[in-house]
Amino acid sequence: MYVLCFSTKTIALLSVSESSKISPLKTLTTTLDCFSIAILDSKTFLIGTVEHPRPVCSVNIRGQVEDTKRLDLPEKSFCLGNSAIAYIPSTKTVLLTDNTDNSLRICDIASGQSKTVKDDRISAPKGVCGGPNGTVFVCSSARDSIVQISLHGEVVSNEKLEMPYPSAIALSKDGHYLVVCNNAKGQDTIIKLFIIPMQCV
């Protein structure tokens, strides 16, 4: 299953076949404006919200908003594009970037506790995803780079990219590749594939 999230209170569920054919499954309507989305389990999604006091909310397969107060996250409202979320199933970890504070929040669902990571190499963070061996990749958009961070909050590596303003990132299912997309004003969108460690292919 592949999930698309729109800021118009709509979540589209799509299936992707082995031949890469995309077919619509279901469209959910929620009360939330959302910018980013992650699959929590087969019946629940985590939503990165827009103009809402809770930056991360849970939505079930019927589109109903559920409680996420157990997560140690500040009540903070984000404008469209100022934050993004991701979820790492293996460690039950929620990731939240804060473009306005140049930070990454790492939240453990089991304990409900979280930590905030700030570093000079993290500037205008946008997209985020889980990485190999208990690490996280963050788009440091203002520095045109990708920062790799451990779940303990330590910067592991910082890779400068030959593309301006990287804004979205995803890890391949086999864990060997990163897909990075940018969003630079007045320029065409670029999508690049990288081998981990970050060697452009």
Q: What is the pLDDT of residues 181-200, one digit of tens each?
A: 998 888 889 999 998 866 54
Cβ-contact 135, 187 below 8 angstroms: no
The model's pTM is: 0.89
pLDDT tens digits for 117-163?
Answer: 999 999 999 999 999 888 999 999 999 999 999 999 999 999 999 89
Single-letter residue type at 9: K
pLDDT tens digits for 77-86?
Answer: 999 889 999 9
Answer whether the bond into residue 197 is a cis peptide, omega within 30°.
Answer: yes
Element (H, E) at 11: strand 10-16
DSSP state of 141: G
